[in-house]
Amino acid sequence: MTPLESYFPLAVVFALALVLGLALVGLAALLGPRRPSRVKEAPFECGSDPVGDARGRFGVKFYVIALLFVVFDIEAVFIYPWAVQVRELGWNGFATMAVFAATLVAGLAYVWKKGALDWE
Residues 6+ apart with CB under 8 A from 89: 82, 96
Interaction residues for other proteins, span 46-65 (CB under 8 A): 60, 63
Q: Which of 42, 67, 101, 117 binds other proteins (CB under 8 A)?
A: 67
By the rule CB under 8 A, 2 interacts with other proteins? yes
Size of the residue set binding other proteins (CB under 8 A) = 30
Q: What is the DSSP string of the chain?
A: --TTGGGHHHHHHHHHHHHHHHHHHHHHHHHS-----HHHHSPPBTTBPP-S-SSPPPPHHHHHHHHHHHHHHHTHHHHHHHHHTHHHHHHHHHHHHHHHHHHHHHHHHHHHHHTTT---
Nearest approach in angstroms of CB 17 to other proteins is 24
Contact of 43 with 50, CB cutoff 8 Å: yes
By the rule CB under 8 A, 18 interacts with other proteins? no
Interaction residues for other proteins, span 74-113 (CB under 8 A): 74-75, 77-78, 81, 88-90, 92-93, 95-96, 103, 106, 109-110, 113
Nearest approach in angstroms of CB 37 to other proteins is 37
Rule CB under 8 A: which residues touch other proteins? 2-5, 60, 63, 66-68, 70-71, 73-75, 77-78, 81, 88-90, 92-93, 95-96, 103, 106, 109-110, 113-114
